[in-house]
Amino acid sequence: MKNVTISTLARMKRDGEKIAMLTCYDAGFVPALEQAGVDVLLVGDSLGMVVQGHSSTLPVTLDHMVYHTACVARARGRAFLIADMPFMSYAEPGQALATAARLMKEGGAHMVKLEGGESQLHTVKSLSGQGVPVCAHLGLQPQSVHRLGGYRVQGADGDSAEAMRKDALALQAAGAQMLVLECVPAELAREISGRLCIPVIGIGAGRDCDGQVLVLYDVLGLTPRMPRFAKDFLKGRGSIAEAAAAYVNDVRRGAFPEAEQVLR
């Protein structure tokens, strides 16, 4: 199978083919996920919670992200590889460029992901202008959990929904080539996905996005307190590879998320 590239993902959106993304933090899981057909591996700063045992993603450092991204990159065969830019590593464009350089040169990432809307437009434009592929992230932004007052649905009222629509279009115009929507009402996510030309990946954002992403540990039922939008795909199956394949299959045919995993 050919390597997945940003062009592959753009074509999948145009053709209406759903994109399957999962987080991954080390080399060991990569073969099973790729065999299952996962298109995109995300080295998320969620590793701070599921691997390191922190209560948020904030303690994750750039060194941590480079290390884990490199671990995944060494085992990667065909999947597209995205790495999160950790908290306070992209506070201004110059710092963001230095962070992206390390994640791509040392870590082997194909794309970097950052959180934020209007405040990040200049940074996204700067990164894109230097040839750095950018994935934006709107809705629930875990790095801003203390400002948001917890992990909760975003864009549920008219003003915040309109702000998110504007941010999504502005990020695309600034050069973002992918967007993650987290914990967003399904109808708003459907509208944003339809208006943007770039792939929109949902997590707790309904089934009408161009693809889905989940934390691998949730898919394997290892999270003590499972998010409402997640699903244990290992339950009733005999291996990690089978669980990953079931996830990919459900994403491809639009069966995941199911009604009970859709946020409103």
Query: pLDDT per residue over 213-261, tens digit each?
Result: 999 999 999 998 899 999 999 999 999 999 999 999 999 999 999 888 7
pLDDT of res. 37: 98
The string of pLDDT tens digits covering residues 28-68 is 999 999 999 999 999 999 999 999 999 999 999 999 999 99
What lies within 8 Å, CB to CB, of 84 at 6+ separation is: 42, 43, 44, 45, 46, 60, 65, 112, 113, 114
Q: The domain containing residue 28 runs over which residues?
A: 6-261
CA 26 to chain CA centroid, nearest Å: 16
Q: Residue for token digits 């350089």?
A: 101
Does the pLDDT of residue 180 top 80, yes or no?
yes
Q: Which residues pair with 21 in a beta bridge?
A: 40, 213
Does the pLDDT of residue 197 top 70, yes or no?
yes
Higher pLDDT, 150 or 185: 185
Count: domains in the chain: 1
H or E stretch covering 95? helix 93-105
Mean of the pLDDT values across residues 84-113? 98
Amino acid at 6: I
In a domain, 1, yes or no: no
In a domain, 130, yes or no: yes
Q: Is 110 helix (H, G, I), strand (E, B) or coil?
A: coil
Length of the chain in residues, anyone?
A: 264
pTM for this predicted structure: 0.97
The string of pLDDT tens digits covering residues 118-166 is 999 999 999 999 999 999 999 999 999 888 888 888 999 999 999 999 9
Instruction: Return the CATH number at 59.
Output: 3.20.20.60
pLDDT of res. 262: 77
Which letter, b or e, does each residue of 176-213 get, where b requires 16 or more Cβ atoms within 10 Å of its Cβ? bbbbbbbbbbbebbbbbbeebebbbbbbbbbbbbbbbb
**What whole-number percentage of the chain has pLDDT above 70?**
99
Mean of the pLDDT values across residues 81-99? 98
Q: Is 144 helix (H, G, I), strand (E, B) or coil?
A: helix
First to last CA, the chain: 38
Q: Is 133 helix (H, G, I), strand (E, B) or coil?
A: coil
Question: Which active-site residues does the annotation give?
Answer: 182
Pull the structure tokens for residue 149: 């007052």
pLDDT of res. 264: 67
